[in-house]
Amino acid sequence: MAIVEIKDIKKTYWQGKVKVDALCGIDLSIDKGEFVALAGPSGSGKTTLLNIIGGLDVADQGNVIVDKNKFDTMKQAALASLRLHKIGFVFQAYNLIPVLSAIENVEYVMLLQGIPKIERHKRAKIILDDVGLEGKYDRRPAELSGGQQQRVAVARAIVSDPAIVLADEPTANLDSKTGEGLLLMMKQMNKDKKVTFIFSTHDHMVMEYARRLVTIKDGLIVNDETK
């Protein structure tokens, strides 16, 4: 069953007086539980597509349906609620809150969801243990390595059991060993929890780990391969 359906998506940006066609008519369907990489060089449109799937950007044309929710008929409040409850985000720059500890960062989404303190603290501890950060609950981001910060970001993205996790270049700031460890962890979570993962990447290691590789070039899908 498709959890993401993209139909004829087009997106244009203006850089000063220069028109940039980021997406030129994308059709894509992703089933629940897939582990998918959107690959392509910088400027290919993969991050724009990921942001549109996550409701962080709006297409100029076409339809986006995520978990049976059709974006073009949704009000902003409903879209924000969908992002909060159904979509987990992992950003290249981690986007952790620097004044909060690791466990507080992981709890933050659940706080916004209104989950009681005792429950969210329990779930945050469990997920931090799952990602290999047992005993580091009280460390702030500046006291963690890049790989550890990205693990906190992944824990935050999946702790509330979203239907889909969107990861934008999650290994870009990591060395190859740390990046591989992160990918193995996410692949295991995909297997155990059936969470759908969609990556944007130009990292060949991510492409190798993905079970489906969608290659984008100049705003168009040029190859779609399931391994």
User: What does pTM read for this prediction?
Assistant: 0.89
**In whole numbers, what is the pLDDT of the chain averaged over residues?**
91
Burial class (CB within 10 angstroms; exposed 0-12, middle 13-18, buried 19+) of 16: exposed
**Which pLDDT band holds residue 175 (cuts at 50, 70, 90)?**
confident
Report the pLDDT value the prediction gives residue 200, as an integer from 0 to 100: 93
Tens digits of per-residue pLDDT, 99-108?
999 999 999 9
Cα(87)–Cα(1) distance, rounded to whole angstroms? 17
Pick the CATH number of 2-226 from 3.40.190.290, 3.30.300.180, 3.40.50.300, 1.10.3720.10: 3.40.50.300
Q: Tell me which of 29-33, 168-172, 202-206 is least confident.
A: 168-172
Tell me the CA distances in angstroms from 103 to 58, 60, 125, 176, one per residue in order: 32, 39, 7, 26
Distant-in-sequence, close-in-space partners of 71: CB < 8 Å, separation ≥ 6: 55, 58, 63, 64, 65, 79
Q: Tell me which of 2-11, 53-62, 88-97, 107-116 is least confident.
A: 88-97
The pLDDT of residue 170 is above 80: yes
Backbone angles phi, psi at 57, to 5 degrees: -135, 160
Tell me the CA distances in angstroms from 160 to 71, 124, 163, 171, 185, one per residue in order: 22, 9, 9, 22, 17
Burial class (CB within 10 angstroms; exposed 0-12, middle 13-18, buried 19+) of 198: buried
- The beta strands (E) that lie in the chain are given as 2-15, 18-31, 35-39, 61-66, 69-70, 87-90, 164-168, 196-201, 212-217, 220-226
Tens digits of per-residue pLDDT, 14-61?
888 888 899 999 999 999 999 999 999 888 899 999 999 999 999 999
What percent of the chain has pLDDT above 70? Answer: 100
